[in-house]
Amino acid sequence: MSPFTDTDPKQFIADFYASFHNDLLGSDEDPGLIVDRYHTPDVVQVADGHWMDRDKLVAHTRPVRKNRPSGRWDVHDALVSGDRIAARFTLYVTNRTRDLAIESHMFAQFTDDGRMRQAHILTRTLPADAGPGQPMPEMSERQVRPA
């Protein structure tokens, strides 16, 4: 059984982040309960070398709720192996004072019920005038196989 069995991996990632984000901003529910719906209790995220456990994820919900950014996750590529997924996506954020586009490259592991167990993410902020990210072109037979 894989959390990605019945869904397109790109859609899975887009839905995961959008749903988590909407739950945080759409109610005053205890942020710990929301974090727990989307992450295992022993979750570990490492973003650009910064280590985050459940407590840090919960603490980070405060600035999200305070700034109330709108977010859109444009997933360009996603590959699945068992309960793991590798994805490349761009997060478009607009809040009170700024517009941001953050390109992200992620390796992650999810439980069967779709909660994140661990994720390693590298990000870079794109220039303000950057266009949308593009999917990788399909590799030809010649590119895949060494000559």
Q: Where on the chain is the footprint of other proteins (CB under 8 A)?
A: 47-48, 50-52, 56-57, 59-60, 62-64, 66-67, 100, 102, 123, 125
CB of 61 to other proteins, least distance (A): 8
CB of 24 to other proteins, least distance (A): 13
Q: How distant, in Å, are the alpha carbons of 3, 47, 131 from that of 85?
A: 10, 16, 25
| Both structure tokens of 20 | 């988590």
Q: Pick the closer one to other proteins by CB: 64 or 86.
A: 64
Sequence-ordered strand ranges (E) for the chain = 39-47, 50-52, 70-81, 84-94, 99-110, 116-125
Q: Pick the closer one to other proteins by CB: 68 or 112.
A: 68
Q: Pick the closer one to other proteins by CB: 96 or 142.
A: 96
CB of 43 to other proteins, least distance (A): 12
Q: Pick the closer one to other proteins by CB: 7 or 56.
A: 56
Q: How far apart are CA 58 and CA 90, in angstroms?
A: 23
Consecutive H or E run containing 17: helix 9-25
CB neighbourhood size of 21 (10 A):
20
CB of 139 to other proteins, least distance (A): 32
